[in-house]
A and B are shown apart, each in its own frame.
Chain A
Amino acid sequence: GAVVSQHPSWVICKSGTSVKIECRSLDFQATTMFWYRQFPKQSLMLMATSNEGSKATYEQGVEKDKFLINHASLTLSTLTVTSAHPEDSSFYICSARGQGRNTEAFFGQGTRLTVV
């Protein structure tokens, strides 16, 4: 099946610094990529949706200036957590889908971010 690679799998950063997470679709063109946040023992919370070459669409309550999303190509999307704070510590997961309403989504392995 299709593969989505997310990097890094874990990162520890100091409060106030920025962290970039990459999401790559390795063997298909990802028309749409999604970024999720997951708190311990909870479901996925969709943060934003991005289509290649256009601005991301953020869900209500998600700060677009804090969580910068770039989808520069059909195989790469990045999420940058700017000026990270301890409350941004979480598990971030990306997902990619090709075209078509009933296509499945493929997920990255997730990134565990810890802000100290």
Chain B
Amino acid sequence: GNSVTQMEGPVTLSEEAFLTINCTYTATGYPSLFWYVQYPGEGLQLLLKATKADDKGSNKGFEATYRKETTSFHLEKGSVQVSDSAVYFCALPGGGYNKLIFGAGTRLAVHP
């Protein structure tokens, strides 16, 4: 079945540093891919998504490109801010009943 593997955290960066959070997947076909973000004490919010190969999802300065050759959907941001401190989850559809399969989550801490 479909699965997703995410780099382990925590990731600690200084403000304005470049961010990469790796995500690789295994899937049947070419499902949509998602990045969700969870701020402290809150539920998850969709950050960005890509619906087909070579698509680039982007939002709030974050980007991720759907690469079928490497089965990857790495999350990047050129200059992180303290307010980006959160947990980031990579996800894709899988299993029955329209389930989403989530990666383990990567905690990002950005300090001034």
Contacts and interface: CB of A to CB of B under 8 A. Distances in A.
A97 B100 CA distance: 10
Size category of the binding interface on chain B: 20 to 34
B55 to A, nearest CB: 12
A1 B34 CA distance: 15
Contacts of B45: 107
Interface stretch (A12-20, A43-51, A74-82): A43-51
Contacts of A51: 97
Interface in A51-108: 51, 57, 93, 95, 97, 99-108
B103 to A, nearest CB: 7
The 10 nearest A-B residue pairs measured at CB = A102-B32, A107-B43, A107-B44, A110-B43, A49-B97, A43-B105, A32-B98, A43-B104, A109-B43, A93-B43
14 contacts: A31-B98, A42-B105, A44-B102, A44-B105, A49-B96, A49-B97, A49-B99, A99-B98, A100-B98, A102-B31, A104-B49, A105-B91, A105-B100, A112-B41
